[in-house]
Chain A
Amino acid sequence: MEVSITPYRDGPYLLRGPFTLRDQDGVAIANSRRVVALCRCGKSRTRPFCDGTHRLIDFHAPSGLESSLDSSVEDEGQNGD
C-alpha cells in the first residue's frame, strides 16, 4: 500500500499507509494509529498531530493546490488569529 497525504478542506493533513514519523534528529515520534491527522493550521497543542484547534481559529485552506493567482482563496487562507 502506498503512503498518501490528503489535505482536508479547512482541516489537517491525513496521513495513510506504512509511515514512520521522525523528528529532525531521526527519533521516532510515538504513534499507534494507522491514520493520523497532522496539524495544518499551526495552532494544535499536540503538534505535529491535529487536535481540532483549527475549528476554534476559523482556519481556511483548500483541499487541492492553492493558486496564488486566485485572490479569493488567498483571502480565505488568512486566518488572522
Chain B
Amino acid sequence: MAIEIAKEHRGQASARSLPLPPSRGPLTASLFTALLGQPGSPISSNFSLAVENPLADDDLQLALYVCYELHYAELEGVDQRWEWAPSLLGYRALLEAQFESAINALVLPCTPRQRADVGGSLQEILANDESPSLSRYVETQASLEEFLELAIHRSAYQLKEADPHSWAIPRLTGAPKAALVEVQADEYGGGSAERMHSVLFANTMAALGLDARYGHYLAQLPGITLAGVNLMSFFGLHRRLRGALVGHLAGFEMTSSIPNRRYGNALRRMGYGAPATDFYDEHVEADAVHENIAAWDLAHRLASEEPALAADILMGARALLAVEGLWAGHLMAAWQRGETSLPRSCAPIHE
C-alpha cells in the first residue's frame, strides 16, 4: 500500500503542478490576472502595496508564495516563461521588501561573541526559544481533526521538503558544500525515491485520508503558514542571503528530532501506525544525524571560512524560530478557542 502510494506520488512529482488558488485581495488579484495573460505583461499595482502586518497578511503571503512557486512547479494555465519575466520579478521584489523588513524587525541582532562561535550560538538561541510547544500539545492532547489540520499546514513545505535549501548548493564551496549535500542526499532518500522525505509525507497524508496532491490545500492556508515557506524560498533565491539559508536549515534540523518523535507518538495515541508514522519516525533518527552536520560542518564551518556570513547565519535561525513561533501561536490560539486553524476551510477535511 505504502509503495503504491509512493509510486503514484512519484509519478506526479515528475510533473509537479498545481492550480492557481482563488485570489485573496488586491495583491493576488492583480498578480493572478496577469499570470493568466501573456508572460511579461505588466502587473497592475494602482493601489498601495503596503500592508499592515506582512508576515500574517493572507494576500501578500499568497502572492509571494505563487511568485516563488513558479520556480518549483507548473501553475495550471500559466505560461512557464513567467518564471523569469521582468514584470513578475519587479512585482515580487516589492513584496519581498515588505517581507524582509518585517523579518528584520522581528529578529534580534547578534553579538560579536555569538558571531565568533556560530555552532555554540545556534544551540544557545534554540535553547532560549520560548515559543509555545505545539508538539507537546499535539503529542498529549490534540484531536485527530487538529492533527489533520497540522498536516495540511505542513503540506505547504513538506511535499517539497528540502527543495528550498538545495538552492544553497551551487552557492557554497568546499566543506560546507559537502556537508549540505550530505544532509540533502538523505532528505532525498539516499538514492531511493520511496524514502524521499516528501514522499514519506505524502504517504502520511494519504494514510490519514488527506489529499496528498501537491498544492491541493494551498487555498486554505493562512498567511502565517505560507510565510514559513516563503522565508526559505526568499533566503534560497537570493545568493546574498545564503548565510541565512544555512542558518535556517541548521535551526530546522536542530529543532526536528524531538517534535517529530512527539508527532509520531500522537498518531500512535490515535491508533495509527506505519505508514502514517513513517515520516515522523524517520525524522527522529535522521535529524539526530543532520543537526550535527548542519550546525557544525555546515553553519559553523561556513562562518569560520566566511566570517562576514556569521551574522546572517544566526539571523536565519532566529527568523525561523520567530516565524515558526507565530505560526504555532496561531494554531494553539485557534484550537484553544475551539475553532479551526484553517479559517478558509470550506468543507470538512476528513470524512
User: A residues engaging B (CB < 8 A)?
Assistant: 8-12, 14, 33-37, 45-46, 49-53, 55-56, 58, 63
Contacts and interface: CB of A to CB of B under 8 A. Distances in A.
B285 A46 contact: yes
Nearest to A39: B288
B22 interface: no
A52 B296 contact: no
Interface in B113-151: 119-120, 123, 126-127
Contacts of A45: 261
Contact of B258 (A10, A11, A56, A63): A56
Contacts of A12: 288, 292
A36 B186 CA distance: 12
Interface of B is mostly: helix
B126 A33 contact: no
Nearest to B254: A55
Contacts of A36: 285, 289
Given A12-B288, A50-B288, A52-B256, 11 more contacts: A8-B292, A14-B293, A33-B289, A35-B182, A35-B289, A37-B292, A51-B288, A52-B258, A52-B287, A52-B288, A55-B257
A55 B261 CA distance: 14
6 tightest A-B CB contacts, nearest first: A52-B257, A50-B288, A8-B292, A37-B288, A37-B289, A52-B258
Among B182, B190, B284, residue most surrounded by chain A Cβ atoms (within 10 Å)? B284
Nearest to A36: B289
Contacts of A11: 291-292, 295
A47 B331 CA distance: 33
Nearest to B259: A52
A45 B289 CA distance: 15
B256 to A, nearest CB: 8
A34 B127 CA distance: 29
Interface string B245-277: 000000000101110010000000000000000
A51 B285 contact: yes
A18 to B, nearest CB: 15
30 contacts: A8-B295, A10-B120, A11-B292, A11-B295, A14-B292, A14-B293, A33-B285, A33-B286, A33-B289, A35-B182, A36-B289, A37-B285, A37-B292, A46-B285, A49-B285, A49-B288, A50-B257, A50-B288, A50-B289, A51-B258, A52-B257, A52-B258, A52-B261, A52-B287, A53-B258, A55-B127, A55-B257, A55-B258, A56-B258, A58-B127
Contacts of A56: 258
A46 B292 contact: no
Nearest to A51: B284
Interface centre among B126, B256, B261, B292 (most CB of A within 10 A): B292
Contacts of A63: 296
B291 to A, nearest CB: 7
A51 B261 contact: yes
A72 B284 CA distance: 32
Nearest to A7: B292
Nearest to A35: B289
Contacts of B284: 46, 51-52
B257 A51 contact: yes
Contacts of B254: 55
Contacts of A33: 186, 285-286, 289
